Amino acid sequence: MNKLTAIPRLSEILKIYPQTRALFFDMDGTLCDSEHLHAKAFAKMSQDHQINIPYPPEIVHQKLVGKADHFVFEEVKSWPGFPTHFTLESFRNEKNKNLLDLLDLPQKLLSQEMNILLNEIKESKLTLGLVTSSEKIITEKIIKNSDVTHLFDFFITRDDCPKHKPDPYPYLKAIEYSKIAASECVIFEDSQVGLDAAIGSGANYFWAQWY
């Protein structure tokens, strides 16, 4: 497994995968340093409803990171104090409201190194896609705030897919949309859930551990 602890330059990627014609990025924790905002949004919900989190923070992160909301809901609905009236939709709506409030605060989620890499990809006329388990409304907010919308050829969000990571469907959809062979695509993912999806797609991949 190719593990990256620092954001590479495009030339470094092409040394490892010289046949690359398309690059696909996960968003939270890979493209942007935004996983902590999801954690804060859930923490506020837990505080507001007096949900007793039965694990230390590192275990909660391990259980929830990179997962779509319906997987998170199935995990946490049995936790002590979880509101019995909550449905998946109400859970998702409240968490996303908290997250959107956090995204309204001044902050920098995209590093300078990532900005350089994205611009190198654009200038090289390679296909650039974003594939995320976040909803479209969250994705658009983060990408717009980071001022990189114009650098991407397409976005695939949770709303665009009937199946979600760790299922490879989102990346298979990206490959199909790109009209490029999986062997010429490179995926960047930070979570095990995302890596499982990347591996299942047949594309090349990197384990992104730079945030």
Q: Do both 79 and 54 map to the same domain?
A: yes
Average pLDDT, the chain: 94
Model-level pTM? 0.91
Q: Are residues 67 and 158 in the same domain?
A: no
Which pLDDT does position 93 carry in this prediction?
A: 93
Domain that holds residue 124: 3-34+110-208
With H, G, I as helix, E, B as strand and everything else as coil, classify residue 183.
helix
Nearest to 96 by CA among 72, 60, 61: 72
Q: Are residues 144 and 170 in the same domain?
A: yes
Number of domains in the chain: 2
Boundary (domain end) residue, out of 57, 74, 103: 103
Provide the pLDDT for residue 80.
94
pLDDT at 183: 98
Regarding whether 160 and 120 lie in a shared domain, the answer is yes
Asked whether residue 118 falls in the same domain as residue 93, the answer is: no
In this structure, the answer to whether residues 136 and 190 fall within a common structural domain is yes
pLDDT at 132 over 90: yes
Which range scores top for mean pLDDT: 7-11, 52-56, 66-70?
7-11
- 203 and 114: one domain? yes
CA distance 115 to 111: 6
